[in-house]
Amino acid sequence: MMKMLKKEEMGGYGEVESWWRRWLWSTNHKDIGTLYLYSGVWGGLFGASLSLMIRMQLGHPGAVFLKSDWFYNVVVTTHALMMIFFAVMPILIEAFGNWLIPLLVGGKDMIYPRMNNLSYWLSPNALYLLMLSFSTDKGVGAGWTIYPPLSVYPYHSGPSMDVLIVSLHLAGLSSLVGAINFASTNKNMPVLEMKGERAELYVLSISVTAVLLIISIPVLGGGITMILFDRNFNTTFFDPAGGGDPVLFQHLFWFFGHPEVYILILPAFGVMSKVIMHCSGKEAVFGLIGMVYAMIGIGGLGCMVWAHHMFTVGLNVDTRGYFSTATMVIAVPTGVKVFSWLATMAGSKFKMKPAAYWSTGFLFLFTVGGLTGVLLSSASMDVSLHDTYYVVAHFHYVLSMGAVFGVFCGLNHWLPNFVGVCFNKKWSKAHFMAMFFGVNTTFFPQHFLGLSGMPRRYMDYADIYAHWHWVSSYGSAVSFGSLMYFKFLLWEALVSQRGVVFSGGLCGEMDWAGTRDLYPGSKHVYSQLPFVWTNPYNTCITYIYKKSRNQ
């Protein structure tokens, strides 16, 4: 029988509190982070099921599985929206950010706990609306980019597009509220020694993400509002009949959409910095200041390259020249980051924990995706590769193997901190191997398909593409199987109850040291400002546990 803990030994969890006050009315960053994790995992599993449907359809030529090409388009659209807005963003930004930011900046909680809860509760409501749009009428088959004229009245006359638009409004509002909260927390809450350039790279990655969200989300909101008006209120913003221009929507959408891809990947960069530093046993990531400005540079440049998604809509040559060049420039700060991570690993006794497998996998595969990105950034090249599977392969390498590897890396690294139990190490490594094989088998052949002209967003294809499509679908089945295996690992960790004895990190890692060897940490870890000491070069932060002054 378990030893009954006294109330003060339970870190605030022993207080008798009704479930709705704890989960529905929550003002606790850990509980809200947990809620985000649950929703995000649900969204991720749903999105993964949709992707399996896509791959099952594409495994053989002909409409053999989904039968209806409209429904295929609906599945593709919902897969994208689900993965972006309801899986990667909730887990990577909101769940990890909520759990870790207060621990890393030495704060008691997020700075606006109630806004934090608003940010959370808007997201399942948006998810409900997305599911409503998926199941109302015939669903939205316009792709996640919802370009007009496909998204306006003659082609999507039912309510599902309108429902999708308000769903995106709520999801955007949720992200915006969360972003303001994160930005303000990261700016104001850190102890003096950890402000500005001395901030932890993870904290900084969330700050840059938050600023990108605040700048770009309202532009998406404005753009989809204009689609709503074009559909319902007789305006002609995107209708040439009244002098409007559908290309304008593409500009507005990608002015949001391109920062959005950095919003998805920057928190994964932050996770990598933490995990690689941890596994290298170093006090800091190599080239700290370079990393800081590389991240800010990526964020800034990310707002100025949107039209590289539109190289084939008839932009003039000068414009395409500018956007090609600006896009290629992003490879520089990204390279700074990748090489700094490699330099961090160099010369250390690198602990090959499961999280380290994911982080090295990330480094390799994100770089592959980044290199195909440089190829696509060239407008003359992109004209022939636009809307082919080459693009699909590119963005799945950076997202499915960048952002999602970041998710798994973070879960392997921090779930013991969040939940207090450890995964089976050997099986987690096996999971990585299975996933690594699965996603590469899925997406690497898509480069070949794209280069030989297979277009995106079609449910059927010429027989000549059948072989690589079959290989790709086989890989997709493997990665889905490994996802199920991960669920088993999660269950195994929870039933086996292997407690965390020692984080294995240095004392400067406030996410581990701050909880004073109690995992999960108490409800509000720092009841007052923690004592933090930095070395003369500001490369290392040491958290010192002292008895509180008022105890």
Residue 115 makes contact with other proteins by CB under 8 A: yes
Which tokens hold the place of 439? Answer: 């996603």
Question: Is 174 known to be catalytic?
Answer: yes
Q: Which residues neighbour 481 within 8 Å (Cβ) at sequence distance 6 or greater?
A: 434, 438
Residue 325 makes contact with other proteins by CB under 8 A: no
Selected range binding other proteins among 193-201, 240-248, 328-336, 404-412, rule: CB under 8 A: 240-248
Question: Is 273 known to be catalytic?
Answer: yes
Contact string (CB under 8 A) for other proteins, positions 7-26, x = contact: ----------x---xx-xxx
- Rounded to 5 degrees, φ, ψ at 274 are -65, -45
* Residue the block writes with tokens 């690689």: 276
| Residue 177, beta-bridge partner list | none
Question: Is 427 known to be catalytic?
Answer: no
Of 22, 456, 457, 498, the catalytic one is 456
Name the minimum Å distance from CB 253 to other proteins.
11
Which tokens hold the place of 361? Answer: 């996998």
Contact string (CB under 8 A) for other proteins, positions 133-162, x = contact: --------------------------x--x
Residues touching other proteins, count (CB under 8 A): 75
Task: CB nearer to other proteins: give 10 or 214.
Answer: 214
Indicate which single residue of 5, 7, 67, 188 sits in contact with other proteins (rule: CB under 8 A).
188
Indicate which single residue of 5, 63, 67, 114 sits in contact with other proteins (rule: CB under 8 A).
114
Question: Is 308 known to be catalytic?
Answer: yes
Indicate which single residue of 13, 27, 427, 485 sits in contact with other proteins (rule: CB under 8 A).
27
DSSP-derived pairing of the beta strands 531-534 and 541-544: antiparallel
Q: Which residues neighbour 370 within 8 Å (Cβ) at sequence distance 6 or greater?
A: 331, 334, 338, 398
Under rule CB under 8 A, which residues in 79-108 are in contact with other proteins?
A: 107-108
Neighbouring C-alpha atoms within 13 Å toward the C-beta of 532: 27
Indicate which single residue of 34, 47, 109, 142 sits in contact with other proteins (rule: CB under 8 A).
109
Of 123, 133, 167, 334, the catalytic one is 334
Residue type, 192: L
Distance of CA 85 to the CA centre of its chain: 9
**Residue 272 parent element (H or E):** helix 246-280
Enter the DSSP assignment of 6: P
CA distance 160 to 150: 13
Residue 548 makes contact with other proteins by CB under 8 A: yes
Residue spans of alpha helices (H) in 24-147? 29-58, 69-83, 96-105, 113-135
Question: Is 258 known to be catalytic?
Answer: yes
Question: Is 260 known to be catalytic?
Answer: yes
Residue 218 makes contact with other proteins by CB under 8 A: yes
Comparing CA positions, the residue from 406, 391, 409, 473 lying closest to residue 439 is 473
Separation in Å, CA 109 to CA 91, 136, 246, 524, 545 = 18, 40, 45, 6, 18
Name the minimum Å distance from CB 123 to other proteins.
8
Under rule CB under 8 A, which residues in 507-526 are in contact with other proteins?
A: 524
Which tokens hold the place of 6? Answer: 């006294």
Under rule CB under 8 A, which residues in 424-463 are in contact with other proteins?
A: none
Name the minimum Å distance from CB 220 to other proteins.
9
Residue 125 makes contact with other proteins by CB under 8 A: yes
Residue 496 makes contact with other proteins by CB under 8 A: no
Q: What angle do CA 385, 386, 392 make, to 5 degrees?
A: 85
Residue 35 makes contact with other proteins by CB under 8 A: no
Of 262, 341, 390, 397, the catalytic one is 262
| Residue 533, beta-bridge partner list | 542
Annotated catalytic sites, by residue? 79, 109, 144, 174-175, 258, 260, 262, 273, 308-309, 334, 337, 456
